[in-house]
Every structure is written in C-alpha cells, then in structure tokens.
Amino acid sequence: MINERDILAKTNYGLNIYAHILQQYYPNELVVHLSGKECKQVRNPFNNNKPTLELNNVDGVFLYSDLELPDFKGNPFDFAAFYYGLSDDKLLEKLNDEMFLQIGKKHIQYGKDKQEETTESKEENQTIHVPRFSLYRCPVSNIFPDKEINLIEVYLGIKSNAYKDQTDYLRGLKDKEQIRRYKANHFDYVTFSGSFSKRCDNALLNHSGLLTIDFDHVSNLTELRSKLLQDEYLETELLFVSPSGDGLKWIISFDNTKATHQNFFQAVANYIKEVYCLEIDKSGKDISRACFLPFDPEVFINPKYLNTKIQENETSMFSQKHKQA
C-alpha cells in the first residue's frame, strides 16, 4: 500500500512533485529555485503563467499558495490532484509510477528488459547501435562542439595516453582553485547525453539515450566500481575514474521514449540513495552536462561494443591534437 508519508520521503518533502508537474509546462526552464526551506516565486500554469506561485516548507511538507488567488493553496498532493484529476490511491499510484519512486516494488526495472537483451544478444549478425554525442575542445568556456563522436572513440581516447600528462599534473595539485582552473582549461570534454549545436539544453539536436552519473570524493573507488558493474537494474555503458582521481563517472543507458531525461535522472538518484546510500551530483539532470575526458587505462566499456568493428584511426582526434599542442 502506497502512502503519502513514503512519497514525501522520496520527493524532498513534496518539492519534487511540484518540480515534476511544472516541468510538463516549462520543460526548458529551472522551475524550482530552492534556498534553505523557501523557494523563490515561480510561474503558476494555473494562473496564466504568472510568477505568483509560492512554495514553503511548513512542518516538513512543502505547501503551495498563490499571491493572487487566495483559495489556490494546499499540499503537494492537492497540487498533483489538480493537475492529474485523480485522488486517493489512484493519485498516489500515478505519482509512484510516473516519478519512478518504486515504492512497494520488489524488482526495479530502469533500463531495457534484461531478458529482451539476452534474447537479442543470441541473434546472429546483431547490429549494435553505438551512442553518439558532441566533443568539445578545451577550455570548458568553449561551448561550440568540435565534432560528433561515439562511445567507442571516447573509450579508446580515455584508455590511450592522449590525456595522461594533463591527468598526472592535475592529480599533483593541492590547491582547490588551481585544480578547478587547470581542469577547466586543459581537458577536452563531451556531452554524453547528446549532440548539440552549442552546449545548452535547448540546443539539443539528438539525445543519445545516455545519462552521466557523477560520484565525487569516493572513499573506496575499487569497491564502488565493482558494485556498479554488478548492478542488477542499471546497465553500465562506460565507467572511468574522474580527472581528479577521487571520483567515478558512470555512463548508463535508458529508453528515452519511456521517460524524460530529468525524470529518469531523479529515479536513478532515488535508487542510488536507497541502494548505495550515496548522494549523486545533481548536475546530471542537465542534458548538456559537460564531462571532462581524463586518462584511465582501466576504463570499462560495455562488452557488447567490443565486437563492433573499430577503425585504427579512431583515437587520432585525441592523439593528433595533443601532439600539435
């Protein structure tokens, strides 16, 4: 039985319910601006899109009200009922399913059906789709892509010596500001979630079906790496150590015809918190999230790509550039 208390516990006291609904109206906007227990006024789709909606945490629940509509107020479930036209158990089930909260569900299925994949992998001459996305040359202030590349090319680039010197130098730095500046100026980067005309969410050309999960300041990289690779529900496409050396970049896949990027990210964040007791970097919700490319000779790529024909010059875009530098 799903109850309101369990949903509130998984939605940041109901705040994520508002964000989820508001994103349906304003998909390319930051719809909730949280500061402490209060939010800045946001646009209200039920009041001609005026910035009159207020969200305030009262006794552990975010309540809503409108500056112009005195009767428009209540809790997150009232707001959701207004949007979905549902109530009671049907409303709770709708929120549980649509927000991927997985309350009361023993087996969570986030990616493709595993049985489906096993059957597909037995087919002869199977065509493997290799995700493609944008590559950008350093510095990170450069928001225009150099070209479109695929997952195998990035794997080979990270595994090669293309970024070894930069990675070694970065890991020798101690000052946080020096580390930040050096990384921003000396590492190429990619937007794993898609191809863009420029690095901006609303300049997306094609979504790759990939999501980047950042684990920062990990105490035991080897242990976490092993757990992620053995995860029962999320399929690893690429996994490597971050440029700083104390984090992991976990690239996973999802069916973006069944869930939006932001909704799937929130579902994964909930899952990781529940299963691994870890908080992930929330910037992964941005489709145009930049991911720096380091040196990692132990980088992991999904074995299904290893039988794909690899051209000999696929790392030239990395090595050639650094020879000239």
pLDDT in tens, 142-153: 999 999 999 999
What is the per-residue pLDDT for 161?
A: 94
Residue 237 dihedral angles phi and psi, to the nearest 5°: -100, -40
What is the per-residue pLDDT for 313?
A: 45
pLDDT in tens, 48-64: 999 999 998 888 899 99
What is the per-residue pLDDT for 80?
A: 95
Q: Is the pLDDT of residue 122 over 50?
A: no
Average pLDDT over every residue of 143-172: 96
Q: How many other CB atoms sit within 10 Å of the CB of residue 238?
A: 24
What is the per-residue pLDDT for 259?
A: 76
Q: Is the pLDDT of residue 311 over 50?
A: no
Q: Is the pLDDT of residue 274 over 80?
A: no
- Domains of the chain and any CATH numbers: 4-98 (3.90.580), 132-324 (no CATH)
Nearby residues of 294 by Cβ (< 8 Å), 6 or more positions away: 158, 163, 166, 167, 170, 187, 240, 241, 242, 243
pLDDT in tens, 216-261: 988 899 999 999 999 888 889 999 999 999 999 999 998 877 778 8
Which of 217, 247, 250 has the alpha carbon at shortest distance from 236? 250
268 SS3 class:
helix
Q: Is pTM, for the whole model, over 0.75?
A: no
What is the per-residue pLDDT for 185?
A: 96
What is the per-residue pLDDT for 270?
A: 78
What is the per-residue pLDDT for 126?
A: 55
Q: Is the pLDDT of residue 322 over 80?
A: no
Element (H, E) at 168: helix 164-172
206 SS3 class:
strand
Query: Considering the chain, what is the average pLDDT of its residues?
Result: 85
Dist. CA 188–CA 320, nearest whole Å: 13
pLDDT in tens, 91-114: 999 998 887 777 876 544 444 444
Q: Is the pLDDT of residue 76 over 80?
A: yes
What is the per-residue pLDDT for 79?
A: 96
Crossing angle of the two packed helices 316-324 and 151-159, in degrees rounded to 10:
50
Mean pLDDT is highest, among 121-130, 209-218, 252-261, for 209-218
